[in-house]
Each structure stands twice: as structure tokens, then as C-alpha cells.
Amino acid sequence: MARQNSSSGQVRIISGQWRSRKLPIHDLEGLRPTTDRVRETLFNWLSVDIRGARVLDCFAGSGALSLESLSRYAEFALMFELQKSAANQLTKNLHTLNCINAKVINGDSLQLLAKGTDQGFDVVYIDPPFRKGLAKQTIELLMAHGWLNNDALIYLETETDLTDLVIPSSWLPLKQKTAGQVSYRLYAYQPVP
């Protein structure tokens, strides 16, 4: 009989204060940790912007993007994760790292984003489960509820066959790549005056 909620994988931090640390993750349906190669590219893109940034991870999953950001001296990371076991593992991993400048919220990302925030974020990760229409709704909620600071950088990871996604005109495209079935992009938020 299979054990439920058992750790069955690891995520490796690439660089920064926790370089090469491996942390356990749960093997859950829809969990697709961003690959090391894609993460390395992303953090090359973000290299001068991540230190001191406030980070929002809309679909934290394994926490790979937030943990990498914190390892590279982001000021704070807020992580939303729907699956309770994954959220609990993220909290344990933060404790293992003695990281106190991060918060994990177990809940539906769309509902949490709809509540808005009183303090925006400098770097936002949108890496939702594929083929559920979550990217479009997430973009709309980020725009409607004050989550983005001016000049915020937004990382968007989607399936390559998602071709009808409308990106707001205030999101300036900076970088874009494809790796297998994954398309990933970086935007800068520059609201129209």
C-alpha cells in the first residue's frame, strides 16, 4: 500500500546563500517544478533585480522559484499553494533553512489574489498547473488588485500550445524562450500614465 503525502523528490537550489542545498518535495498531481535549466536562465535574467525584491509566487508548488529568490537575497517572498501537503512541506523547508522572511499561505491562488494587497511586489511568478485556464485569470487579478509595483518583473510559464493568452499592454516583453513543452517569458510592468 502506498504511503500518502510522502516526500518523493527533491528540489535543488542553484545559487546564493543556500547553493546546492537539496530540499524534499511531495509528488503531487500537477506539480511540475521548474527545471534547473529553465531556472538558471530565469535567474540570469533576474540577476541584478532579485536582491532586495519583494517576491510573489502565485502557484508555489515545490517552492523552487521562491527558494531560489530567497537564496539570492530577495527581501521577502509570499507563496500561495493550494495543496495542503505541498504548503506544509514549503513551511518545513523554510524552517530547515532558518528563513524568516517568507510566508506560505495554503489556499486557492485566485481567491487570494482577489482579496488584493496593501503592499505590491517587485517580482511575480506565474507558473500555474497547465491546461486549467489559470494564467489568464491570474493576470487579470494581478492587474485589478494592486499586486504589481511599478517596474515589477513578471515571470510567466505556460504550456507552449497556449497561444491565445492576452497580455496587458502595460506588460513590456523582455525575454522569451521555449524548452520542450514549456514556454517561459519575462515582462516588465509599466503602467500607462
Whole-number Å distance between alpha carbons of 124 and 145: 14
Report residue 192's pLDDT band, with 50, 70 and 90 as the boundaries: confident
Ordered DSSP codes for 86-117: HHHHHHHHHHHTT--SEEEEES-HHHHHHT--
Q: Residue 154 pLDDT more than 80?
A: yes
More confident residue, 86 or 1: 86
What CA–CA distance (Å, rounded) separates 68 from 71?
5
Any idea what DSSP says for residue 84?
H
pLDDT in tens, 37-88: 888 899 999 989 999 999 999 999 889 999 999 999 999 999 999 999 999 9
Percent of the chain with pLDDT over 90: 66
How much is the pTM?
A: 0.90
- Which bin fits 57, alpha (ψ -120 to 50), beta or left (φ > 0)? beta
Rounded to 10°, the helix 36-46/64-71 angle is: 40
